[in-house]
A and B are shown apart, each in its own frame.
Chain A
Amino acid sequence: MKRHTARRMRAAVATAAVLLVAGCSLIGTDGGSEGETVTLVTHDSFAISDEARRHFERESGYELRVNKMGDAGALTNELVLTKDAPVGDVAFGVDSTFYSRALDFDVFEPYRPQGSGSIPVKYAVVDPRLTPVDAGDVCVNIDKSWFAQHDVPEPENLADLTEPRYRGLFAVPSPATSSPGMAFLLNTIDGFGRQEGWKNYWRQLMSNDVRISSGWQEAYNQDFSGSAGNGQRPIVLSYASSPAAEVGEDGESRTRALLDTCYRQVEYAGVLTGAEHPKRARELMDFLLSWKFQSQVSEQMYVYPTVLGVDLPENWQDVAPLPPEPAEMNPEVVEQNREQWVSQWRELTRS
């Protein structure tokens, strides 16, 4: 018996060895790359088309490496923590909510990339350390067919959502645990007043049976009736671009973003302080504002390009236009009050 087990042990060890040799291991897969590389640190939602990536690599001669670091908040905090030894050359994805924090901690170096002259005033920032690359506005979305079937008029603005006829219809992710949820909270604070106004609004939402979930995934992909999840609620907090993902075979979207309920989220990029390859970093920054990159952000990341003259994908003009007058809040005010607002919101919604 003992012999037998020992033999099987050897067999197992041999199998393991074969597996390792046969490539069932990561050892040796490190692209201890021969060529020159440039590293982009970004958030989990980053995506780039193969074509755009190849274009950049061909034109610059650098291999583009992408390092994803969680959502916009996680990304910003990780950049702050690794300030003295950055994990890349360029960071993309710090958003309006975390803009101030990134600047306060001197994470970025000043650089104005080529093409920044074509960024319209509404996105332009004074600080040369961060460049707006795209906008991903957060808006209330509705399931059009639900309202048609139930013969209920569609809501148009935030105040409508507290009306009794929309009772039990709205799903929203929590500002404490979700980025779009946070944008929505800021939107209500901006719209209804920083003192008691927003709190009253949320009290009304609560008594109108709003459903709060921890993340966008549950709210949109499960609770919302207009998504693939076939949920129960026809109103959800999502993005201005979401209807573009719900286009049916007839070319119409099943959903619509309410353009009067939007909050502007701009995503920025910058050269990291202490980057290993500052020159390559600047070239990558130029690329992020180039037509080649800007023209594919909509389809890849469901966001809007910031550079003038870059067209949206064909049907976006109809199903997911850029909100004309979204709400915005001064990043410094956000940075100073974020935690306090979240804890006040927690108190408010606990009951």
Chain B
Amino acid sequence: MFRTRRSGRTGAVTTPGKPAGSAARRPLLFVGAVAVLGFLGVFFAWPVLAILHRGLRPETALVLVDHGTWRIVAFTLGQAAASTALALAAGMPLAYLLARVRIPGKVLLRAVITVPFVLPTLVVGMAFRALLGTAEPSVSAIVLANAFFNVAVVARTVGGLWAQLDRRAEDAARSLGAGPLRTFGTVTLPALRPALWSATAVVFLFCSTSFGVVLVLGAGRYRTLETEIYLRTVRMLDLSGAAALSLLQLAAVLAALAVAALARRRRESAGGVRAAERPARNPRGAEWLVVAAGGAVLAALLVPIGALLVRSVSSRSGWSLAGYRALSGTGDGALGVSGWQAALNSLRTATDATWMALSLGVLACLVLISLRKRWTAELMDTALMLPLGVSAVTVGFGYLITLQLLPGDLRTSPLLVPFAQALVVTPLVVRTVLPVLRSVDERLREAAATLGAGPWRVRREVDLPLAGRAICTAAGFGFVVALGEFGATGFLARPEAPTLPVAISELISRPGELNTQMAYASCALLMLVTAGAVLVIESLRTDSVGEF
């Protein structure tokens, strides 16, 4: 019954009935598309193609016939799939907690589950190594750590949509005699699918390009495309081999995105999104099991976080706050700036990256929903996702050989870091906002147009307010991603302006107890900054209807 209703709605959206003011919209659409694709072209496509071009030689093909290469491909995809599955399984109960259960201080819960996402992979890798007692290379440790980082993506993406689902559909199913499982399977899950696909795609890309975790917990023995591209580019200067592997990575990512796009077809319109909602309530009966599962996941997330905090106050001679006190200094000159200054740099860089990514992402979404041709939209959507699946070192080395051709040699500009981060954040904005915009009832837009609103007025008065909540979510999450970004940042950050993750990596690379303590204290500071940022941004989006 629900299916019929949904497909009816979908039909209404895709019916090529004249969209509001389509003639006037074309040039604007064009300008928006040019802006988005232009940024992507300059800061992604051009550098990547340039570095590939440098490497491609006839013997590049030899890498492809080496069966060792295919082992690496298989391991990359296998560990990414396993990690994604685990992150989904662990993230769902948390999403449920966030969306459907009335808990005091839920904002705090949101902040806590976001923290793992920003932690430096090297440090978390070392924490897992200590906690699991596996100094030997271990695949399960890699999968666990990858999932640890990405649970937040699932919980937030799925939880965000779940909170907006009309609960009455489920209640109706229940009162018609469906059990809780059946209701979940036939009503809730189908409605969550857009968010689930979004989360799956993003987490899969993150896991397949995971670098630090694979190195540390694989003890350099397990190799993925990402680690191999890094080693070939950075250590061996084997650009030819690196190009071959980069092409494989690109192909794998495209294949994954194509699968996601096919699965997403006609589904990214979330059924029944309502602006006003009041879905949180006390759990009943079997729902307590899910709550318990969520609690268990939360506890599991807190263990490594706790271990890092304990480490930050430990010394050879017992408890000590020396690491925290050292934050006001530069760690014996290890850093170009003090720990506090690094925190400030992190905030400033992330702020820039966030507003850039929000502008681009929202613009991209508006273009995407305006495109009438399904395949044009899919292509552009895929292009926007690609930066998540391409090795940071490929992009970084690409910058080195291309950006000097632009005026004002951006290679040494402080803005290069936020640009690179925006590249990673934009796809997340798109994945968060697009499903909501797609689900806006076309009739609302038509009504606004009938009442005399121009195309941009329709966007402003109909789409943006309805997507406002998703945009705020995207801003918060994007900010957090930028805070924790290390792949490109570590490569591009200037020594006089290190971000916290860069500072932590430099501190932990030096001998001496104080440096180690300061590294862990910086981790704690990063967690605090993250939690603070999430709290501030969440408070912006709490609206009058509120779920608390």
Tell me whether A174 and B219 are in contact (CB under 8 A): yes
Contact A30 B414, CB 8 Å, known A47-B333, A214-B218:
yes
- Is A160 among interface residues, defined by CB-CB distance under 8 A? no
Q: Contact between B351 and A228 (Cβ–Cβ < 8 Å)? A: no
Q: Are A176 and B231 in contact (CB under 8 A)?
A: yes
Q: Name the residue of chain B whose CB is nearest to the CB of A247.
A: B512
Chain B count of residues within 8 A CB distance of the other chain: 76
Q: Is B379 an interface residue, CB under 8 A from the partner? A: no
Instruction: Confirm or deny: B404 has a beta carbon within 8 angstroms of a beta carbon on chain A.
Output: yes
If A16-B355, A23-B348 touch, does A66 touch B496 (CB 8 Å cutoff)? yes
CA distance A71 to B491 in the complex (A): 10
Given A9-B468, A85-B404, A174-B219, CB of A44 within 8 Å of CB of B509: yes
Are A9 and B333 in contact, with the CB atoms below 8 A?
no
Asked if B418 is at the interface (CB within 8 A of a chain A CB), the reply is yes
Binds B, one of A113-121, A238-246, A326-334: A238-246
Structural contact, A228 and B465, CB atoms closer than 8 A: no
Tell me whether B276 is interfacial, beta carbon within 8 Å: yes
Evaluate contact between A214 and B333: CB separation under 8 angstroms: no
Closest-CB distance, A185 to chain B (whole angstroms):
12
Partner of B122, one of A11, A48, A217, A302: A217
Please report the C-alpha to C-alpha distance between residue A163 and residue B461 in the assembled complex, in whole angstroms.
Answer: 77
Contact A27 B352 (CB under 8 A): yes
Stretch at the interface among B26-34, B103-111, B149-157, B234-242: B234-242
CB closest residue in chain A, given B136: A211
Q: Are A4 and B235 in contact (CB under 8 A)?
A: no
Q: Are A77 and B494 in contact (CB under 8 A)?
A: no
* Chain A residue nearest to B237 in the complex (CB): A77
A68 touches B494 (CB 8 A): yes
B376 close to A (CB within 8 Å): no
A-chain residues with CB within 8 Å of residue B349 when the two chains form the complex: 26
Contact check, B233 vs A77: say whether CB atoms are below 8 A apart. yes
- Residue interface bits A305-344, CB-to-B below 8 A is 1, else 0: 0000000000000000000000000000000001100000
List B residues 291-322 near A (Cβ within 8 Å).
315-316
- In the complex the two chains form, is A214's CB within 8 Å of B401's CB? no
**Residue B380 interfacial (CB < 8 Å):** no
Say whether, besides A4-B544, A29-B414, A87-B400, A68 and B495 are in contact (CB < 8 Å). Answer: yes
Residues of B408-424 whose CB lies within 8 A of A: 411-415, 417-418
Chain A CB within 10 A, most for which of B334, B400, B515? B400
Interface string of B460-498 (1 = CB under 8 A from A): 010011101101100100000000000000010011110
Contact of B215 among A77, A214, A229 (CB under 8 A): A214
Minimal beta-carbon separation of A170 from chain B (angstroms): 12
Residue of A nearest to B513 (CB): A228
Q: Which of B369-424 contact A (CB under 8 A)?
A: 397, 400-401, 404, 411-415, 417-418
Query: What residues of B have a CB within 8 angstroms of the CB of A176 in the complex?
Result: 220, 231, 235
A73 near B235 (CB under 8 angstroms)?
A: yes
- Does B260 count as interface, using CB distance less than 8 angstroms? no
Q: Which residues of B contact A87 (CB under 8 A)?
A: 400, 411-412
A5 to B274, CA, bound (A): 13
Within the complex, the shortest CB–CB distance from A228 to chain B, in Å, comes to: 4
Do B511 and A238 have beta carbons less than 8 Å apart?
yes
Contact (A67, B495) CB under 8 Å given A30-B413, A221-B516, A245-B511: yes
Q: Does B325 contact A (CB under 8 A)?
A: no
Per-residue CB contact flags for chain A residues 19-38 toward chain B (1 = under 8 Å, else 0) read 11001111101100000000
Q: Which residue of B lies closest to A238 (CB)?
A: B511
Given contacts A5-B275, A5-B543, are A221 and B508 in contact (CB under 8 A)?
yes
A264 at the interface (CB under 8 A from B): no
B397: chain A residues at CB < 8 Å are 78, 81
Is the beta-carbon distance between A4 and B543 smaller than 8 angstroms? yes
Question: Which residues of the partner chain A approach B236 to less than 8 Å between Cβ atoms?
Answer: 338-339
**Chain A 265-292 per-residue mask, 1 if CB under 8 angstroms from chain B, else 0:** 0000000000000000000000000000
Name the residue in A30, A87, A222 with the highest tally of chain B Cβ atoms < 10 Å from its Cβ.
A222
Q: Determine if A207 is an interface residue (Cβ-Cβ < 8 Å).
A: no
Complex CA distance for A47 and B336, rounded to whole angstroms = 8
Closest to B545 in A: A1
Q: Given the complex, which residues of B lie within 8 Å of A85, measured CB to CB?
A: 404
- Chain B residues near A12 (CB-CB < 8 A): 472, 475, 540
- Given that A217-B122, A246-B512 are contacting pairs, would A11 and B351 also be in contact in the complex, using a CB cutoff of 8 Å? no
Does A24 lie within 8 Å of B415, measured CB to CB?
no
Interface residues of A in 63-99 (CB under 8 A from B): 65-68, 70-71, 73-74, 76-78, 80-82, 85, 87
- Known A87-B400, A222-B126, A350-B221: A74·B506 in contact at CB below 8 Å: no
Which residues of B are found within 8 Å of A212, using beta-carbon distances?
A: 219-221
What are 14 A-B residue pairs whose CB atoms fall within 8 Å in the complex?
A1-B276, A2-B275, A27-B352, A49-B333, A67-B495, A70-B491, A74-B235, A81-B401, A87-B411, A177-B220, A212-B219, A215-B122, A217-B122, A228-B516
User: 3 nearest interchain CB pairs?
Assistant: A245-B512, A174-B220, A228-B513
